[in-house]
Amino acid sequence: MSDSTPVFNDRNTGKSKLINPTLVLNCGSSSIKYALISEDESTRITGLAENLGLDTARIKHTTLNGEKLEITIPGGRHELALQKILALLEQYHFVAVGHRVVHGGREYSKAVRVDQHVLDEVKRLKILAPLHNPANALGIEAVEAIYPDIPQVVVFDTAFHQTMPPVAYRYPIPKALYEEEKIRRYGFHGTSHAYVSERASEITDAKGPHGWLTAHLGNGCSATAVYNGESLDTSMGLTPLEGLMMGTRSGDVDPSLHIHLKRKLGMSLEEIDTMLNSESGLLGISGLSNDLRTIEQAANEGHKDAQLAIEMFCYRVGKYLASLSCALPDFTGIVFTGGIGENSATTRARILDVMRHFGIKFNAEKNDDLVGGAEGSFQDEGSSIELWVIPTDEECQIAKETCQALGLK
């Protein structure tokens, strides 16, 4: 490290905090999540711009010293929010920017440095991710306008799953739709599945190549079979709607549901798409909320639909994990992550009860203790597989892949 390397000091402790930081941007359809992460990944500044485009638009920012700031930007959209965020962070002289991009199609199997071709591809692929890829492109262009000399990298949600074999990613539909229209299973939540499976392989005592089932359970949910660091199959498909039951997404339904609802109720494709993505899942079954905590409280008070929503959610996760185990040459264990996976011990227990034929044994006390960001295992003696709770860190994974793509690590 040269003498000119910038070092920034915490005014309270005097200790160096941020050295050669990477800025991570996650631009959603109405929000921007960001993190400035130090070279050694030990220190970060975080924030969230939310409600973009509305009168309630604001930025919630946590400084290096832990101070909470809130900046109102009524009516502010992505461009204004990004200008404010970059202004908050400019004093730290970040060396690179990593962007989470939802869809990378089948061209990209790893993080890549942004050039005009990459940016054009991000925009073109909005046909597969209309709510996210346009916002991701806005983030890239906003940084380019203010910091044209700082290298940018895109880390695709889909990239980790490009190792899936054709037997897993092809749909049983006419070949021309795959070859000409790129209709196939892509998978999502790639950075989360990559992070927790790698972390599990670091901390397990199991020898040899590891086979993990990773369950990312939150408002969006997906499960992946990871063997020797590679995705072999996953629950999400062409879009994030396929697979598990989620907060507001239905997950798997009969493909003929669309034509049935059109014929029976006169619903348009757009109305059906909205229903399946935004009005279904835990919200649709419970009739109360997409937040599992609210549903669990109602279920404990005797609410029948809330009880069914929980039972359906856990049954479908357990069923999917059981089926994904077929992709693994060896089955080392299950890793739970995401807001629900990390914090709901009762949900983990219910899911494992569904998989009762697998010889899984878990320690209920250890399971109950693994909440609130705790990391650890909770299998009991004699269990056929290991059981882990590992808090995901997608920002850290994006920062790491950004540096790798630029040769900084």
Burial class (CB in 10 A: 0-12, 13-18, 19+), 292: buried
**Is 273 one of the annotated active-site residues of the chain?**
no
In angstroms, the CA 303 to CA 286 distance is 9
In angstroms, the CA 8 to CA 19 distance is 7
Residue reference for tokens 């850290």: 396
- The string of DSSP letters for 219-258 reads SSEEEEEEETTEEEEES--SSTTSSS--SS---S--TTHH
In angstroms, the CA 261 to CA 56 distance is 36
Under a CB-based contact definition with an 8 Å cutoff, are residues 388 and 409 in contact?
no
Out of 55, 157, 205, 330, pick the active-site residue. 157
- The string of DSSP letters for 68-132 reads EEEEE-TT--HHHHHHHHHHHHGGG--SEEEEEES--TTT-SS-EE--HHHHHHHHHGGGT-TTT
Under a CB-based contact definition with an 8 Å cutoff, are residues 89 and 96 in contact?
no
| Residues noted as catalytic | 157
